[in-house]
Chain A
Amino acid sequence: MNFARKISPLLFVVLFSLPTFWSLLRPGYFKMHDDMQAMRVYQMDKCVSDFQIPCRWVPDMGYGYGYPQFNYYGPLPYYVMEGFHLLGLGYFDAVKIGFILPLVFGNLAMYLLGRKLFGKAGGFLSAFSYAYLPYRASDLYSRGAMGESWAFIFLPLIIFALLKLTEKPNLKSSAFLALSLAGLFCSHNITSLIFAPFAAILFLVFLSRSKISKLQSIKFSVIGAFWGVAIAGFFLFPVIIEKPFAHVESMLSGYFNYLAHFVTLKQLFLSTFWGYGSSELGNHDDLSFSVGFIQLLLLALALSRSIRKRSPIFITIFALSLAAFFMTHVKSSFIWGRVSLLSYLQFPWRFLTLAGFFTCLGSGFLLINQKLTRIWPLFFSLLVVIFLTNASFFTPSVWYSITEEEKFSGASWDKQMTISIFDYLPIYASHPPTFSAPINPTGQGLSFLNIEAKSNSLSFTVYATASSSLTLPQFDFPGWKITLNNQIITHNHNNELGLINFTLPSGTNQVTAKLTDTPVRVIGNFSTLVFLPLSIYFLISKKYHYA
């Protein structure tokens, strides 16, 4: 009975999340701006089958020249999707699961946080607002932003962990914070960057309200934060240290310059307009930048309720949501101009992730300490209104009845190999390739035998009539090591595309090229290997039970 009482609210949350994704529960695939989700899972699968774990270098992107995709791009969702693929799901279905998971677990996490702050009714309202946040529909069904969608799981978890740390400062709470942080780092690292100051402010307010030793809370929070960085080490360390080795600058200019993507007040607060188009300069984007008219209204009503019942926590949440809204507006450009790191966010409206999160969280305050049995007419009316005004956005614009074979062949395959190629193009390439990579290495007077290509390695036997130059169909990138007849040799990348090039002596040669780990990757991998199991141990350990 006790178990049923515990589980039924969670089931209720899952149940009301269902309409946000049931349009995905059918065969086929759908249109989204970032049309590489299935491709990334496919590439991840190639990595995993080659035991390239963690996966950094994927073979088919970069027009077949290889690509440091997951050295820079949040890999967590793709590991999970690959897990589902290994369980037997196709790539399309794995992607759909990848989109569905945050819609379920994000809402559950929000419920737990909302319930902790405002009680059951408030928790449900926060979770329901969050479930039907139009910006999440934009993220998923218009933009196909997997990483950002996953961020919606970890934002509430991080705040929940911080709250725990001011109640029960111990290693278990630290481990909880560490894991949530690491989850956000490895899903959408740029969101964790902008979220950090917001979370810190909220933590300080939690701390000021806490009745226990503040020093302990701070200590274990700092431990948790560093622990989180350590867990995410395999991804985070290389991202930071190896940033100069990819053409990330293209992500900051032209269309992706943040200056072109501020949002107007009308779009933020009044518009209910919905479109599946793109973000453009001006105030007529055919894309929704709303966190929901009703959600905003609930937040405003919650504010008016807070006048009587002073709640520093709610006021902070409200202020943080305003701050996040401000960052999406052109008036904030002076901050954007000063903090150069922000330009990696590309679109100021990405702050809507935070604005939406805080708005929905704050909306739960409206029903603080109310008993559901007492206010159920209002509660269900609110659910109906939120549902009616937002549920229609949670569906794809176009559904394609295509198969994976069709997606990964012909012209579509060419497209998959080259979309967004500039994002993480290795720095040695002066421009993206215009033709797909040849299967064989190239060079004059060479004949190849036993070519074996893997996601991150290439080995072959080559016969050279004379000493000659050999170019591999792989971009050069820190970590590539060439073994010639069991001897590591130096190579260069002195060609337009920055491909691996070296000199081959005449005769029969055994060549192996392999992407090895640079020291920072080794440290990162090692850090994850140590701290991830450690955090799981502390989280499940009975010794550190919350009691």
Chain B
Amino acid sequence: MPKTIILFFLILSLIVGRELFLSGSFATHDDLQVMRLFQMHKCLSDGQIPCRYLSEMGFGYGQPTFNYYSAFPYYVGAFFNLLNLSFLTTVKLLYFLNLFLAGCFFYKFARYHLSNIASIVAASAFILMPYRAVDIFVRGALAEITALTLLPLLLFSYYKLSKEPKTSNALFSSVILFFFLTTHNLTTLISLPLIIVYLLYLYFKNTSFLKHLLLALLLGTGLSGFFIIPVLFERNLINMTGLTSGYLDFRSHFSSLSQIVFDLSWPYEAKPSVFIGVIQILVIILSPLPIIFSKKRSLPILFLLMTLFFLFMAHAKSSFIWESLHFLSFVQFPWRFLGLVMFGSAFLAGSLLDVIPARFAKVSALTIFVVLLISFLPLTSFKSHDLSATDSTILSGKSLVIQSGGGVADYLPISSPMVPSSPADALPSILSGTVDIKKFEKRTNYYALDLEVFSASADVVIPLTYYPNWRVYSDGSFSPLHTTYDNQYGLITVTVPKGKHSLQGFFENTPFRQVGNSFSVISFSLIILLYLKHKYA
């Protein structure tokens, strides 16, 4: 990739993301990024690798957040933290990368199909679509925007593989697939049609890369095993109704055509703008041109069809699909499909430019770019800033309590019939018996309780919601104690006999997680060995 192009996207991202360089924090719908990074950091510090359970979330009753939710961006964040960046700076850096790298990745992808200038315009259109501003500046949807940033890189890796079917390209592709699969389940789900169509397109162009493609898909999926196996098979361990009902019911989030095409309002509250952008609309309208005039017309046709399909999915008319495909309800907001419209329309913008006669190409490119930028710039502001905020103001006192209760209902273990609404007790409570608690310490994957029971026995309630497999061991024994969790928040309850005891609770793996972890380790090993074998040959 030419250095000037990198510089171009860097400068563009700096302009668009200028508010990310202000001090302090900013308001978005999802304001848990700092907290999640903090928890991820704690996970790593406690040696909970991979990170699944966060005992400080769910108002301190614990939540298995990363067993289900977006792991990859937070591992990237953890990497920056370990390089001594604050959580707040890391969040901003991650958002910034989702501007800068989005451009670079899309350019690399588009460059295989389009001319240089068209690729630049396409990548710019990919950065400068209103929905990106919605994700970053309004919703704070780090996971979703990261997945969308990775999507062109994923397709790029497949193209590269089809062009040069060799092991190193397959391994590269598998790693990108791993990034993608562990980033945002919903985006993975809705972008499957796009990925499959693109792969079919590549397959018909060059059938000989199938073997390498299968290797890439297999290793990429295997590498993601630690994350996707529990996502697929442990959904029954959490209360899912909260994720698809009430406000999150997809039925209340369809968009009308006029909202998509004309509505220029920019609400920060509730339903965000679904306007897809002036250029994008124009490009879709004019897309028959590249289809007619271009020699390489199959891709423009595919991308146009896909774009129209994604737009349709955001519209209420598609509700019959939504109603019949039950799993779509987890997408929650039909307008999430706009992320894919962003992808498709950006490519169409590039292919349109490629059919414009050469002498007008530069002028048209510049015009398109300027219109894109001018119409995008007003959207690149956060609703508000708290310039004095730091990690310690966010992660202490009242703010920490609010943060710990953020998204409390999202991944609520089924053991908890009620949704906690106030912070958990700092110490275990005594259900029966007389007990002196000498020490209680809680980590993301561990708790230690030193106590002395004066009565014949005592029932002690640990302020932690049971989630498989929390196990408690008494005085270093090898077999765990029997626990119950028959109370409103499903708190771990254990009967302790008379005397001094030291209890240790460990968050242990379920068979599914073990299998998932093993898949990841095996795939990781295979990738290393195949790579070395390939390089050695």
Chain A residues with a Cβ under 8 A of chain B: 19, 22, 271-275, 277, 280-284, 286, 288, 290, 293, 297, 300-301, 304-305, 366-367, 370, 374-375, 377-378, 381-382, 384-385, 387-389, 391-393, 395
Contact = CB atoms under 8 A, between A and B. Distances in A.
B476 A283 contact: yes
B532 A378 contact: yes
Given A378-B531, A387-B82, A273 B47 contact: yes
B233 interface: no
Contacts of B506: 273, 284
B532 A305 contact: yes
A236 to B, nearest CB: 38
B535 A375 contact: yes
Interface of A is mostly: helix
Contacts of A297: 521, 524-525
Contact of A388 (B79, B172, B521): B79
A273 B46 contact: yes
Contacts of B75: 388
Contacts of A381: 175
A283 B478 contact: yes
A395 B532 CA distance: 34
A291 to B, nearest CB: 13
Contact of B46 (A274, A304, A370): A274
B265 interface: no
A388 B78 contact: yes
Contact of A281 (B47, B448, B476, B528): B476
Given A22-B84, A282-B476, A389-B44, A275 B446 contact: yes
B443 to A, nearest CB: 8
A304 B528 CA distance: 11
A450 to B, nearest CB: 52
Nearest to A281: B476
A286 B505 CA distance: 11
B82 A391 contact: yes
Contact of A392 (B82, B175, B443, B529): B82
**Most-contacted residue by chain B among A273, A274, A283, A392 (CB, 10 A):** A392
A123 to B, nearest CB: 16
Contacts of B172: 377
A19 B477 contact: no
A102 to B, nearest CB: 21
Given A275-B446, A378-B531, A392 B41 contact: yes
Given A19-B83, A388-B79, A370 B49 contact: no
Contacts of A19: 82-84
A164 B409 CA distance: 64
Interface residues of B, number: 35
Contacts of A286: 446, 448, 504
Nearest to B75: A388
B221 interface: no
**Most-contacted residue by chain B among A284, A375, A385, A388 (CB, 10 A):** A284
Contacts of A275: 46-47, 443, 446
B39 interface: no
9 contacts: A272-B48, A274-B45, A275-B47, A282-B476, A283-B476, A284-B473, A290-B47, A388-B75, A392-B82
A282 B75 CA distance: 33
A393 B84 contact: no
B531 A375 contact: yes
A136 to B, nearest CB: 15
A387 B48 contact: no
Interface in B37-75: 41, 44-49, 75
Contacts of A385: 524
A442 B83 CA distance: 59
Nearest to A283: B478
Contacts of B83: 19
Contact of B49 (A22, A272, A384): A272
Q: Which 6 A-B pairs have the closest CB atoms?
A: A282-B476, A274-B47, A392-B44, A272-B47, A392-B45, A391-B82
B401 to A, nearest CB: 23
B52 to A, nearest CB: 12
Nearest to B531: A378
Contacts of A378: 528, 531-532, 535
B365 to A, nearest CB: 33
A272 to B, nearest CB: 4
Interface in B447-477: 448, 473, 475-477
